[in-house]
Structure 1
Amino acid sequence: MSIKRILILLLAIVGTSVARAEDGKFTIAVIPDTQYYTDYRHQTEEGFPFDARELFFDQMRYIAENAESQGGDIAFATALGDVWQHASQRMTPEYAAQGYKHIQTYLTSLPQIHPDSRVLTVEMPTARRGYEMIAGKLPFSVVPGNHDYDSNWADSRWPEGQGGLPNGMLAYGGLKNWTSIFGADTPFFRKKSWYVASYNGGADSAQLFDAGGYRFLHIGFEMAPSDAVLKWAEGVIKRYPGLPTIVSTHSFLNRAGERRENPAVDFKAVNPVHNNPQDVWDKFLSQNDQIFLMLSGHQYGQAHRVDLNRFGHKVYQVLSDYQGRRQSFVTAAPARANERETIGDGWMRLMQFDLSGPKASVQVKTISTYYKSTASKLPTYSAFYKEKEKPTATDEEFIASDEFALDLDDFHARFAPARSARGDGRK
């Protein structure tokens, strides 16, 4: 079947339109952790049963083909980190000079954790190629996840079995690899009118996009942003007051819907200059009234919650992470089903906004470009994934955790439509 035919079928399933989105209606594509697609170990040249990178390329091709500039309704894309899998070294000199020491643990012996130079020759070029597919089609953001850092090690202060950590604690540092692909001065973002601010070389960044009659501000954070990063973001918000604002970062919610870090990957525990998810809420999200949506990945599964900021307005927080899914591998190599390989199966999120009526809303859909289906329309969805992700849920409850509506009932009261004469959406 041709790529064009596949895209037409998927459009019919998802229910999006090939025509330009109506006023008030548009979609944001949310790309969760892609590390297992780009992983050099998951390609046929390494003996894997298929090229997992093709699942990643299919996702990016789908976004490109359905961007508003191409007649579709996707106005913006945000990637939630862990774009590739491996670090390129055990510890960068700057961290060794600060007194950090590495100890061998079970986690750092795993092939997906151990540094490998093929991140430079296979994984990073694969990531670049994927984002080249959407470059020039729509504004987008990419934030770094823990796997995107230059180095990782097991912190010697947290040995296995102590402090409630059976496998110790992982530490990460350095973003030279990251900024070489996604930094502010790279072709993806340099001189782009919609890329309006950056910090730490582009590890933190801000974008503008127009959709549904509004101008939106998006801010992307590095993992566990420091107070200095939060101060930078405050400055960005002051430059664009009154714009409905979305924030993306790699780690924020866990699968239980709590603002809590994975205890084995706790940047703040390693270095207190970092802020944990609750800190980010207390210091930044709850203090800035124009922020209405927070997106994150990192922790396997899906969850969402709504909290009131200090002004009494709703902030929607959504976790999307499908990297633990592996049915594509089991289907391709049933004799190897006991191996602990996970892929992601092409799942990602579409957030379909409708701002046209008196009550704004977002329909969250979970789609797979591998299965050419949404969660609710794939008959085997619960059979494939529920036991590992939400074993106590009914099939209906499990699907409802992946396809649901957010009622933005205070959106119109909080935000004014963009004014064409001024072009900045300010009230």
Structure 2
Amino acid sequence: MPDTQNYSQKFPEIFEKQTKWIAERSNEITFVLHLGDITNNNNKEQWENASKAMNILEGKLPYAVVTGNHDIGKNGRTDVRDTDLFNQYFSYGKHSKMNGFKGAYEEGKMDNTWHEFKAGGHKWLILSLEFGPRNKVLAWASEIVKAHPKHKIIIQTHAYMYSDETRMSSERGHRWLAQSTGLAADTRSEAPNDGEQIWEKLVSLYPNVMMVVSGHVLNDGVGTLISQGKHGNTVYQMLSNYQTGVHGSENGGNGFLRILNFDIPKRTIIVKTYSPVTDTFKQETDQDFIFENVDFN
């Protein structure tokens, strides 16, 4: 579920239709990822709308959320890393009791968490990392990965891939970087990281990291990249975003979301883009595609 910010602000009924559709298929869906920018302006009204929609999943199936740039700072301006409202509406006390929840970077805060589940004969681990994850958060995430060498790792963070099929980086002249927000003033262990830095400091270093998913970037709102980690493992990386500002978007995104089907016997990951609101699939090749010859061993 990428970038629901405009639903929280203007179209809460679309947000609820998304989660109702997911909840009704809880026997088919193993895990739900929300890629951040849950709200647009980091205010109580929008957090209430978001919480109401996400609560539809309660008791149905596990999910993990991450903060986006619009979820922190005054009016969602990303001037400071303030997650008080996020943690009020997505509380540690509640979500730490969810099936599959295993821990957080800071006990009592949901900013950075990890979950696990079993599916298809494999153990899976979900790492959910804040917008522009700090150096100390990446170090924590590395320890989690190293401690679980038998798990397949999926990382979700709000800003990682860009719409030109590369990872976000100032060296490529990319827009909407964590390094171009108020967070850039933070240094050393507090310093934020953009996509290429996350790759270098975390993703590329471990043989069991399989996938990174992110939202955030506008333009056409999609980007796909297959890279080899330092151990020769293949890492599948995807940007998906349908919000206002993305080319051709309507009604804040019209409820489009990504469906990933991991077919272990066929060694494929099938990617579909669907809207429960319009009951339509996107047919473009960058919205409907298959990763083949996936090594699930």
Specify if TM > 0.5. yes
Quick one: which of 192, 201, 204 aligns to 1:274? 192
The 1-side partners of 2:12 and 2:293 are apart by 36
Quick one: which of 175, 180, 199 aligns to 1:263? 175
| 2:270 aligned partner | 363
Residue 212 of structure 2 corresponds to residue 294 of structure 1? yes
| 2:90 aligned partner | 182
What is the RMSD computed on CA atoms of the aligned residues?
2.0
Check the 8 A contact 1:60/1:133 in 2, yes or no.
Answer: yes
Q: CA deviation at 1:327?
A: 7.0
Q: CA deviation at 1:125?
A: 1.0
Q: CA deviation at 1:328?
A: 8.2
Check the 8 A contact 1:32/1:79 in 2, yes or no.
Answer: yes
The 2-side partners of 1:242 and 1:32 are apart by 28
Structure 2 vs 1, CA of residues 138 and 408 (structure 1 numbering), >3 Å: closer, same or farther?
farther
**Matched residues, number:** 282
The 1-side partners of 2:176 and 2:29 are apart by 36
Quick one: which of 33, 40, 46 aligns to 1:78? 33
> Which structure 2 segments of 5+ residues have no match?
none
Please give the secondary structure, in 1, of the residue aligned with 2:92: coil
Q: CA deviation at 1:79?
A: 0.3
Alignment-mate amino acid for residue 263 of structure 1: R
The 2-side partners of 1:37 and 1:76 are apart by 21
Residue 7 of structure 2 corresponds to residue 37 of structure 1? yes
The 2-side partners of 1:264 and 1:131 are apart by 26
Q: CA deviation at 1:191?
A: 2.5
Please give the secondary structure, in 2, of the residue aligned with 1:218: strand
Check the 8 A contact 2:73/2:79 in 1, yes or no.
Answer: no
Q: CA deviation at 1:171?
A: 3.2
Check the 8 A contact 1:151/1:173 in 2, yes or no.
Answer: no
Percent identity, aligned pairs only, is 28
Check the 8 A contact 1:216/1:244 in 2, yes or no.
Answer: yes
The 1-side partners of 2:39 and 2:281 are apart by 25
Specify the structure having the higher radius of gyration (Cα): 1
| 1:104 aligned partner | none
Q: CA deviation at 1:240?
A: 2.2
| 2:289 aligned partner | 404
Check the 8 A contact 2:69/2:76 in 1, yes or no.
Answer: no
The 2-side partners of 1:141 and 1:298 are apart by 17
Give a deviation string over 1:297-349, Cα, whole Å, max 9, x none. 000211100010000110000000000359786xxxxxxxxxxxx51111110
Structure 2 vs 1, CA of residues 406 and 228 (structure 1 numbering), >3 Å: closer, same or farther?
same
317-326 vs 274-283, which moves further = 317-326
Check the 8 A contact 1:197/1:236 in 2, yes or no.
Answer: no
Residue 105 of structure 2 corresponds to residue 196 of structure 1? no
> Which structure 1 segments of 5+ residues have no match?
1-30, 43-51, 88-118, 155-169, 330-341, 377-398, 413-427
Residue 20 of structure 2 corresponds to residue 61 of structure 1? yes
The 2-side partners of 1:225 and 1:58 are apart by 30
Give a deviation string over 1:286-305, Cα, whole Å, max 9, x none. 00111100000000211100
The 1-side partners of 2:228 and 2:30 are apart by 27
Check the 8 A contact 1:296/1:319 in 2, yes or no.
Answer: yes
Please give the secondary structure, in 2, of the residue aligned with 1:362: strand
Alignment-mate amino acid for residue 102 of structure 2: V
Q: CA deviation at 1:153?
A: 8.3
Please give the secondary structure, in 2, of the residue aligned with 1:130: helix
Alignment-mate amino acid for residue 58 of structure 2: A
